[in-house]
Amino acid sequence: MQSLSYLTLDNQRQSLLQPAVDSFALKISGGVLRRGDAGYDDARKVWNATVDRHPALIARCLTVGDVQAAVRFAATHRMLLSVRGGGHHIAGNAVVHDGLMLDLSGMSEVRIDAAARTAQVGPGALLGDLDRQAQAHGLATPLGINSTTGVAGLTLGGGFGWLTRRHGMTVDNLIAATVVTADGAVHEASAGSEPELFWALRGGGGNFGVVTSFKLQLHPVGPEVYAGLVVYPFEQARQVLRAWRDFSAGAPDELSVWAVMRKAPPLPFLPVSAHGTQVVIFPLLYCGDLSRGEQAAAPVTRFGTPLATALGPTPYAAFQTAFDPLLTPGGRNYWKSNNFGTLSDAALDAVIASGSRLPGPECEVFLAQLGGAMSRVEPTATAFVGRDARFIMNVHGRWSDAKDDQRVRAWARRAFEEAAPHATGSGYVNFLTEDEGERVAATYGANYPRLQALKRRYDAANLFRMNLNIAPAADAQGEGAS
């Protein structure tokens, strides 16, 4: 009789007889895939092409009942378990090797209640799905900047983007969540129902269960915003970045201006002679009155002598897809990230030095401007604790040839290390890579013991460990503490 070989939670090799696998498959609406099945290789692919793992089984969940059955099956057999929503996280933890992968991509429904200004979002929905449907009603919630990112992973790790300075983090806009915990039970978590679990879900990653539905607050945005790009030659990097830093300190919450150092893509408004040269790009968005946006953004064009400027009224949903061509699925990616409370001249010099050593045409260093509404939330109000970050640096190594793996990773690590003395020491969970587990405790800071206690309460066996893992507390001391 055929059997299935798999890895357990303690990394031991076990096997299941075929009737047990067949019985499990009957409980999953979308079916269960094994190696060699049609669709298996497509189902295990994620955004980051460096991730090439082979699950023993892939459960294609379409309902909450499917998720319950899959979680109980994994727990019963102590099978390594991973959960795939959008499959966009840099570390690739959505795909487990020789374990059970829950594929939630089929649970992608988005329902908008325009009167209540809320969205009910499935765990397989992408940012583009939510943006398009919300913008049909002139509404939006803070999300990331790449439309193929999954709403679930983004939200559970914090979530920030162009609207964050005005409307907070994505987790600050989470109203409620339906979650399946390690025992297969379904919980409705909100501020008024299971508030401790709700607190943990707001930034604690996938450590506490499988969220099968998110209820998010929406805000009037657009449909047109004042947005676009201002591009400077890299030779002006020190001048324009210092000017940007100083300008950021007094910028209104409605305005977000980021800084990107990279090789210039062939943008139609750039001179052809600039294509492929090193540049500093300031993408920006103002989510308010268009005329005020033009006035608020005007100083960005005077940081130096721009190569080109492309600013004006832009559909918000379109701007949310503007950077998709630079972040397409299938590239090899490795990131390193730092949070900054302030950007000293020395910090900027370190970042500029890394930007001058780009190892390939797809690599970049970006600095995201934060602050505003997200910084006015108490650090203990949600599991996400990085409220003191006024800027986040992401060193984005991206390339296509596996022969370049070591070289690009070495560049990213050096960039991180040189900037680290000027940073807060914490990180952003959604940017941490597979080799940064040691940064998890520092990233959660004073919230970490409370998270460990809640992990013990909801997942003492650490079934949900394919993530930036929060280890269960050794005992229940401190459980539920504020």
Secondary structure (DSSP) of 204-235: SGGGS-EEEEEEEE-EE--SEEEEEEEEEEGG
Phi-psi region of 18 (alpha: psi -120 to 50; beta: other; left: phi over 0): alpha
Q: Which two tokens stand for residue 357?
A: 């050593």
The mean per-residue pLDDT over the stretch 445-462 comes to 97
3-state helix, strand, coil in the chain (%, to 5): 35, 25, 40
Buried b (16+ CB within 10 A) or exposed e, 442-469: ebbeebbebbbbbbbbbbeeebbbbbbb
pLDDT band (50, 70, 90) for residue 475: low
Residue the block writes with tokens 């910084």: 375
206 belongs to a structural domain? yes
Please indicate, yes or no, if residue 166 is contained in any of the structural domains: yes
Q: State how far the Cα of 447 lies from the Cα of 469, in Å rounded to an integer.
A: 14
As for how many domains the chain has, the answer is 3
- Residue with the two structure tokens 């990230």: 337
8 in a domain, yes or no? Answer: no
Find the mean pLDDT for residues 406-422.
Answer: 97
* Within a domain: 17: yes
Same domain, 84 and 155: no
Q: Do 453 and 403 have their domain in common?
A: no
305 occurs within a structural domain: yes
Q: What is the CATH number of the domain that holds 66?
A: 3.30.43.10
Which residues, 6 or more positions from 302, have their beta carbon under 8 angstroms from its beta carbon?
Answer: none
Q: What are the structure tokens assigned to 89, written together? A: 């996280």
391, 369 contact by CB (below 8 A): yes
> Do residue 179 and residue 117 come from a single domain?
yes
Same domain, 59 and 83: yes
**Residue 114: count of CB within 10 angstroms of its CB:** 13
Which of 103, 126, 149 represents a domain boundary (last residue)? 103
Note whether 342 and 249 are within 8 A (CB): no
pLDDT band of residue 438 (cuts 50, 70, 90) is confident
For CA atoms 367, 368, 369, 370, the dihedral sign is negative
Tokens of 208: 């506490």
pLDDT of residue 479: 41
DSSP state of 85: S
CA atoms within a 13 Å half-sphere pointing along the CA-CB vector of 107: 29
What would the pLDDT profile of 8-67 be if each residue is shown by its tens digit? Answer: 999 999 999 999 999 999 999 999 999 999 999 999 999 999 999 999 999 999 999 999
* Model confidence, pTM: 0.94
Chosen domain end from 103, 129, 150: 103
Return phi, psi of residue 353, to 5°: -60, -40
Give yes or no: residues 332 and 246 share one domain: yes
* 185 and 269 share one domain: no
Domain extent at residue 429: 224-437
Same domain flag for 206 and 344: no
Strands (E), 308-372: 308-315, 332-340, 364-369
pLDDT exceeds 80 at position 481: no
Rounded to whole angstroms, the Cα distance separating 446 from 442 reads 8
pLDDT at 243: 98
pLDDT digit string, tens, across residues 328-343: 999 999 999 999 999 9
Rounded distance, CA 436 to CA 2, Å? 38
Task: Tell me the per-residue pLDDT of 148-187, one tens digit each, with 9 for 90 and over.
Answer: 999 999 999 999 999 999 999 999 999 999 999 999 999 9
User: Mean pLDDT across the stretch 243-268?
Assistant: 97
For residue 313, the one-letter residue type is P
Q: Give the confidence band of 478 by pLDDT, cuts at 50, 70, 90.
A: very low
Look at residue 482 and tell me whether its pLDDT is greater than 70: no
Give mean pLDDT, residues 124-137.
98
Instruction: Judge if 248 and 379 occupy the same domain.
Output: yes
According to DSSP, residue 473 is labeled P
Residue 333 lies in a domain: yes
Per-residue pLDDT band at 434 (split at 50, 70, 90):
confident
Average pLDDT, the chain: 95
Q: Does 117 lie in the same domain as 78?
A: no
Question: Which is more confidently placed, 89 or 479?
Answer: 89
CA 361 to chain centre: 23
Band (436; pLDDT cuts 50, 70, 90):
confident
- For residues 461 and 9, the answer to whether their CB atoms sit within 8 Å is yes
Q: Are residues 450 and 427 in the same domain?
A: no
pLDDT for the residue 77: 97
Where does a domain end: 103, 129, 156? 103
For residue 199, count other CB atoms closer than 10 A to its CB: 23
The tens digit of pLDDT for each residue in 336-375 reads 999 999 999 999 999 999 999 999 999 999 999 999 999 9
In a domain, 4, yes or no: no
CATH of the domain at 150: 3.30.465.10
Q: Is 478 among the domain residues?
A: no
**CATH code for the domain in which residue 270 is found:** 3.40.462.20
The amino acid that residue 92 corresponds to is G
What is the mean pLDDT of the segment spanning 318-337?
94
Q: Are residues 160 and 86 in the same domain?
A: no
Helix (H) or strand (E) holding 452: helix 448-459
Query: What is the pLDDT at residue 437?
Result: 85
Crossing angle (nearest 10°) for helices 405-419 and 345-355: 170
Claim to verify: residue 131 and residue 229 sit in the same structural domain:
no
pLDDT category, 474, cuts 50, 70, 90? confident
